[in-house]
Structure 1
Amino acid sequence: MGTRSGAAGKVTPTVYVSVDVEADGPIPGPYSMVSFGAVVAGWHDADGFRPAPATAAGFYRELRPVSDTWVPEALAVSGLDRAALLAGGTDPAVAMGQFARWLEQLRTGPDGRRYRPVMVGYPAVYDWQFLYWYLVRFTGSSPFGHSGCLDVKTLYAARAGVPFAGIGKRSMPAELLPDLPHTHHALDDAREQALLFANLMEWDGPHERVSGR
């Protein structure tokens, strides 16, 4: 990757953090985030994007529910047991404090410089609403700020030059898709998502756009 001349003073070094959330309903507050996983997807500065190793360490917690309401079909996606979460899930305040401290460590990059964390999600809108609500509710602030979120589906639409509506992994070129199962275990899915994001960041786009056809 070549240095982009004159860009260094305008670029905020960024560490992308892939996050996957499993919840027991459609919105936070009335419903609960039951688990979440996070892993570094890569670093981005004036010199370009550097993907994180596929084996990068991650963060994972299963949480005690915050309400008495849940949607059984939503909870079933994660495979987690509500009674077990009520009895042994991590207190949300503890979990979010631990996560905030983990993110703070990521601010110091492999090169010793300071990086700003940005959440990566697929799709980001669902995972972000739970993560942001929990961070603000239980720690008082978000290390990502109020808008430090990047949606992988939107990134694909922009890179591929296709409409957003109807985008799914089945519509993406095979070379972008990680050879990992989608298990609905939050850490597994965060890792799969991180690899998809890294592939997209290094993708030149559809062949017909690159060749000019």
Structure 2
Amino acid sequence: MTRRVKPSLYFSVDIEADGPIPGPYSMLSLGAAVAGRQDVDGYEPADPEKDTFYRELRPISPDFVPQALAVSGLDRERLTAEGSEPAAAMAAFGVWVGEVCAAYGGAQPVMCGYPASYDWTFLYWYLLRFTGASPFGHSGCLDMKTLYATKARLPLRAVTKSAMPRELLSARRHTHHALDDAIEQAELFSNLMVWPGV
């Protein structure tokens, strides 16, 4: 008896934050783009500009690391006044993920990032803290650095974007705007998924 395997829908996620960990520091923006769908027959890339999500969030703490804040260029004072409430932003994100998965035939969502560890830490913490649940479960996360290292047969610490074959990289600029970078990374992810490796 064969077990039915549900397809996976990959969401490229990028966050900008004002420090190294959530709680003491804040996620200031969240961008996500659908990268593609995988089933037992293979991987099909999506148009990364078609299904996207973006929010800028109100900081949850007065603490921040100036160097981290400088990376995104986001204005904490403006976000304190105008940013989305984290609970509302994360609830909207969860609803969006569910709607998109339904549109892709009930595929299961998987978050992917480059590297995933930082973005996943903030995303999962914020989802649990402000909504009590994660549409990705506790482990629906795939790291693009690990994916490349495995296919390229390299130690993980040897992996950098600058060392990757040019044809794997997106032609888009990495701007440190969360949605721009999520779209750029969605293209990288799709290229890695179809790349046969070495």
Task: Tell me whether the two structures share a fold, i.e. TM-score over 0.5.
Answer: yes
Q: Which residue of 1 aligns with 2:58?
A: 64
Asked if 1:172 corresponds to 2:132, the answer is: no
Q: Which residue of 1 aligns with 2:142?
A: 150
Of residues 72, 78, 83, the one that matches 1:78 is: 72
1:43-66 Cα offsets, whole Å, 9 max, x none, are: 011111000014323100000000
Partners of 1:123 and 1:87 in 2: how far apart? 31
Number of residue pairs aligned between Structure 1 and Structure 2: 198
Asked if 1:190 corresponds to 2:177, the answer is: no
Amino acid at match of 2:7: P
Q: Which residue of 1 aligns with 2:101?
A: 107
1:10, distance to aligned residue in structure 2 (A): 4.5
Partners of 2:101 and 2:30 in 1: how far apart? 20
Considering only aligned residues, what root-mean-square deviation do their CA atoms show, in Å?
1.2
Q: CA contact under 8 A between 1:106 and 1:117: conserved in structure 2? A: no
1:182, distance to aligned residue in structure 2 (A): 0.3
1:13, distance to aligned residue in structure 2 (A): 0.8
Q: Which residue of 2 aligns with 1:209?
A: none
Q: CA contact under 8 A between 2:33 and 2:49: conserved in structure 1? A: no
Q: Which residue of 2 aligns with 1:42?
A: 36
* Structure 1, unpaired ranges of 5+: 1-5, 207-213
Q: Which residue of 2 aligns with 1:3?
A: none
Partners of 1:108 and 1:52 in 2: how far apart? 15
Of residues 16, 19, 23, the one that matches 1:25 is: 19
Partners of 1:56 and 1:180 in 2: how far apart? 16
CA radius of gyration, larger in: 1
Q: TM-score under structure 1 normalisation?
A: 0.90
Structure 1 runs (4+) greater than 3 angstroms displaced? none
Q: Which residue of 1 aligns with 2:46?
A: 52
Partners of 2:103 and 2:83 in 1: how far apart? 31
1:127-162 Cα offsets, whole Å, 9 max, x none, are: 000000000000001010001000000000011111
Amino acid at match of 1:53: D
Q: Kindly report which structure 2 residues correspond to 1:89-128, keeping only aligned pairs within 5 A, or say none.
A: 89-110=83-104, 113-128=105-120
* Structure 2, unpaired ranges of 5+: none
